[in-house]
């Protein structure tokens, strides 16, 4: 090797070392002391071993105002590139808090946008790992424009490729809106923060003193606001959660999820022990799912938000399905504002990415009350109706117990577009419960009776016998088959196999106007 080759090679290697060094040993040590992995350690955990390829590693900020030193900004606070997860390509942008606090400037945003553009071009998932102090003040409007460029790409890619955001540090101000547009948000329960206005601003405007974690920590967003979908105790478990989720998702909207060898353990026979015949008694619907789904495959989404509705992914004979289920342990499984939003968003995601839907129905009503009415339950509940009616993937419903009123319709009824509806023998499909119905339609008879109590009991028995069962619905074609609990897995799996070639043509339009 001649002198010039040697000199140029040594310079390249030194630049590579500069890139890999990030913000330097001291800042990396502080990152670890705060309980966080570095940007590159997170990427290493995310991708299959040895598959990550970095792109645009030497891009640096062009800004020199306010004493900014370009030499200290190689890579500009974000690592971008691609690798394989479960053998399949995905792109990533991982913000590096050790370089300028991971702040976003023109070059930083450009690196992220280039990775997003390539992910969309290749039709593969994009994962954003957020750990940033926010917009780089020194770069002014260029920072704000950078966020706009990212938001625009998030929106264009929505419904085309899966987009996952992982919040592993601060994510404040306008930066929050990129994760909010993506499909799923993961948070670390110790270090993640998301808020539009920080504690100082809240104090100056309202006088309220509040910590950043109380304002926008993982516990708040997983259980109160519903912003976050998954929460884990540390960075590594969070990244492993992303890897698990990726196993349920296709690469893009033109593909279907991976099929694996099915674990055919069928425990449907225990369903009669799990679900009480008395519709007033509660049970855990997740035990129902575990009884017929492939063993250990149910992956719940937003488990701590709107607990009256359970949503998540599972496998049935090795193939991915999305599940929406009423949870009788909370609010008796009724639908309300938060559950409607949660369900509608999950349904629409599954429809975007060709994931068949199974709905487990045990719903007494939309939750009544002035708080719900004033909060817009009409508007929010309509989202569920819209999402199910809009979805063209295979849709199967199983009515387990109660299916009353408008909530029955909203839980993927035949009229709203269900392909197949099953019901167990204990199912009750009616406008309302027997007591409420008799108090209205039997009011005059009860009032005239010599013994009103006896008359009411007589009418209740008659109503229960005539209407509180699945057979009238089956006779009228709203239920396709009344099945025994032990037949549940066999029927559902068989129906999904039958529906695999379903094609549904809808009127040509730009897009529907969902009641947001």
Q: Which residues are catalytic?
A: 173-174, 406-407
Q: CB burial class (10 A; 0-12, 13-18, 19+) of residue 51?
A: middle
For 157, phi then psi, to 5°, come to -80, -15
Helix (H) or strand (E) holding 315: strand 309-316
For 430, phi then psi, to 5°, come to -160, 170
Other C-beta atoms closer than 10 Å to the C-beta of 24 total 11
Closest by Cα among 252, 194, 231, 188 to 36: 188
| Cα dihedral sign, 464-469-475-479 | positive
Other C-beta atoms closer than 10 Å to the C-beta of 482 total 16
Report how far residue 493's alpha carbon sits from residue 218's, in angstroms, rounded to the nearest whole number.
36
Report how far residue 476's alpha carbon sits from residue 479's, in angstroms, rounded to the nearest whole number.
8
Report how far residue 296's alpha carbon sits from residue 264's, in angstroms, rounded to the nearest whole number.
11
Closest by Cα among 103, 113, 14 to 58: 14
**Strand pairing of 184-188 and 193-195?**
unpaired
Output the CA–CA distances (angstroms, integers) from residue 40 to 85, 124, 209, 424, in the order listed: 16, 21, 36, 52
For residue 65, what are its two tokens?
A: 């105002």
269, 486 in Cβ contact below 8 A? yes
Helix (H) or strand (E) holding 454: helix 452-467
Report how far residue 502's alpha carbon sits from residue 442's, in angstroms, rounded to the nearest whole number.
45
330, 362 in Cβ contact below 8 A? no
Concatenate the DSSP letters of all residues of 98-143 into one string.
TTGGG-B-HHHHHHHHHHHHHHHHHT--EEEEE----B-GGGTHHH
């Amino acid at each position: 090797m001649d002198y010039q080759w040697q000199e140029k090679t040594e310079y390249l290697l030194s630049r590579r070392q500069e890139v890999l060094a990030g913000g330097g040993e001291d800042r990396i040590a502080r990152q670890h002391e705060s309980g966080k992995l570095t940007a590159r350690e997170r990427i290493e955990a995310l991708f299959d071993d040895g598959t990550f390829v970095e792109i645009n590693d030497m891009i640096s900020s062009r800004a020199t105002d306010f004493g900014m030193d370009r030499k200290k900004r190689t890579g500009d606070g974000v690592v971008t590139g691609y690798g394989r997860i479960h053998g399949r390509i995905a792109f990533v942008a991982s913000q590096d808090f050790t370089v300028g606090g991971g702040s976003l400037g023109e070059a930083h945003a450009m690196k992220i946008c280039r990775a997003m553009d390539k992910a969309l071009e290749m039709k593969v998932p994009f994962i954003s790992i957020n750990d940033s102090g926010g917009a780089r003040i020194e770069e002014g409007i260029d920072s704000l424009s950078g966020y706009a460029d990212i938001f625009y790409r998030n929106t264009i890619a929505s419904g085309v490729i899966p987009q996952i955001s992982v919040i592993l540090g601060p994510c404040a101000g306008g930066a929050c809106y990129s994760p909010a547009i993506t499909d799923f948000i993961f948070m670390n329960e110790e270090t993640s923060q998301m808020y539009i206005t920080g504690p100082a601003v809240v104090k100056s405007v309202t006088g309220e003193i509040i910590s950043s974690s109380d304002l926008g920590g993982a516990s708040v967003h997983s259980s109160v606001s519903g912003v976050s979908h998954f929460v884990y105790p540390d960075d590594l478990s969070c990244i492993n959660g992303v890897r698990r989720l990726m196993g349920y998702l296709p690469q893009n909207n033109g593909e279907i999820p991976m099929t694996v060898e099915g674990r055919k353990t069928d425990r449907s026979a225990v369903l009669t022990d799990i679900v009480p015949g008395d519709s007033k008694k509660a049970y855990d619907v997740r035990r129902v799912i575990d009884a017929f789904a492939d063993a250990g495959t149910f992956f719940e989404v937003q488990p701590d938000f709107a607990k009256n509705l359970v949503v998540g992914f599972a496998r049935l004979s090795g193939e991915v399905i999305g599940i929406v289920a009423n949870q009788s342990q909370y609010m008796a499984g009724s639908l309300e504002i938060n559950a409607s939003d949660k369900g509608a968003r999950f349904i629409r995601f599954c429809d975007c990415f060709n994931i068949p839907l199974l709905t487990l129905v045990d719903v007494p009503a939309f939750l009544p009350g002035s708080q719900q009415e004033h909060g817009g339950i009409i508007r929010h509940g309509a989202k569920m109706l819209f999402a199910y009616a809009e979805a063209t993937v295979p849709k199967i419903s199983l009515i387990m117990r109660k299916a009353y009123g408008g909530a029955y319709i909203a839980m993927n009824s035949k009229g709203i577009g269900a392909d197949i509806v099953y019901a167990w023998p204990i199912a009750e499909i009616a406008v309302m419960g027997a007591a409420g119905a008799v108090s209205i339609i039997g009011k005059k008879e009860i009032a005239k009776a010599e013994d009103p109590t006896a008359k009411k009991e007589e009418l209740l028995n008659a109503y229960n016998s005539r209407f509180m069962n699945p057979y009238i619905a089956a006779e009228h074609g709203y239920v396709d088959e009344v099945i025994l609990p032990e037949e549940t897995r066999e029927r559902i799996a068989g129906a999904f196999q039958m529906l695999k070639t379903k094609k549904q043509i809808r009127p040509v339009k730009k897009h529907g106007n969902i009641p947001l």
